[in-house]
Amino acid sequence: MSSKVEKISGVAFLPFIDMKEMLLSELKNRFGYDCKDAVHYGDLVYFPDYKIETGIPYFARCAMLEPFLVHFDSIGDAAKELKNIQRSWAPYNFTCFRRAALIQEKLPYVNLKAKTFPAKIPSGATGLYTLIDDHTMIASRLTNTTVPAGRIEFIEDHENPPSRAYLKIQESLSLASHYFNVDVPGKGSRCFEAGACPGGWTWVLVEQGAEVFAVDRAELAPSLMKNELVTFLAHDAFTLKPEDLGEFDWVISDVICYPERLLEWIKMWLASGKTKKMICTIKMQGEINWPLIAEFAAIPNSRIVHLNYNKHELTFMHVE
């Protein structure tokens, strides 16, 4: 049998790790889509009748927008078919792991390794493929992201950050830099973090040389409390008025609060004109209120994403 490419209809979604049920729930409750005809390839879910105009779920890290099947005899044939379509490909593997690794070795190099911060997001297209069995793969040249397989992973520092939440701001800032073409905060930047304790996000900012006004009812880690780039205020950050604090290059928050209150706070800061860049975690309280999330998304110059390092939460980004 010679290799053969077979076009198929629909869309396939690859969810973030451990977020498959959240993806299916979003399709149902946000888009009103019945997932009964779904075909599951590990975490990858293929919907033969899905129309891309319906929308791309936040909990999908990568969407196969023009899926096709490749039927092949050999590893070389599989790699050749992909290379004939475009240069760059990333795998999602749930079976035939050795065979998939050998195919990837025959493709042009794509950096799939863990990154250092700030991470540079590729600008070129990267396709996604998944082996279904030894002689069949589902693939798509066109996806919704230039991040290979839709997932950014960082080399972790297990000693210095005061909390693992630091990975969320590293990922957020890397994505914001890519989406909005802005520099990450650095020397000369003035940042305000609301709900900063114990200081994971503040730690990332001061490591880049930024000044941070950190507000929380509880103090930050001792090393940050002594850091000359950190000004700490023991207070409820959401009760402070922008007019009383001055201008900031970035306003950020990973605080636990009701999404309604966060939306009101974000609108207050943007209306004040005291910042043009914000990154905030939208913490969910039970079932996701999708009409409310749409209000966040409707704010001009904004973007809602689910991060690799998010759990049952979304991230709001705004840059103007």
3-state secondary structure 149-218: HHCCCECCCCCCCCCCCHHHHHHHHHHHHHHHCCCCCCCCCEEEEECCCCCHHHHHHHHCCCEEEEEECC
Q: How far apart are CA 131 and CA 140, in angstroms?
A: 12
Place of tokens 């409820």: 236
**Residue 32: what pLDDT?**
97
Distances (CA, A) of 229 to 31, 186, 196: 45, 11, 14
**Residue 286: what pLDDT?**
87
**Residue 285: what pLDDT?**
83
Strand pairing category for 11-15 and 39-41: unpaired
CATH 3.40.50.150 intervals, the chain: 166-319
**Residue 261: what pLDDT?**
96
**Residue 1: what pLDDT?**
56
CATH code for 4-150?
3.30.2130
Mean pLDDT for the chain overall: 96
Secondary structure of residue 53 in the 3-state scheme: helix
Q: How far apart are CA 13 and CA 38, in angstroms?
A: 10
The superfamily in CATH containing domain 166-319 is: Vaccinia Virus protein VP39 (3.40.50.150)
> Which residues in the chain come in under a pLDDT of 50?
none
Q: How far apart are CA 195 and CA 218, in angstroms?
A: 9
Supply the pTM of this predicted model: 0.95
- The sign of the dihedral angle between the CA atoms of 15, 19, 25, 26 is negative
With beta carbons less than 8 A apart as the criterion, state whether 184 and 252 touch: no
Q: How far apart are CA 238 and CA 261, in angstroms?
A: 9
Q: Is 219 exposed, middle or buried (0-12, 13-18, 19+ CB in 10 A)?
A: middle
**Residue 76: what pLDDT?**
96
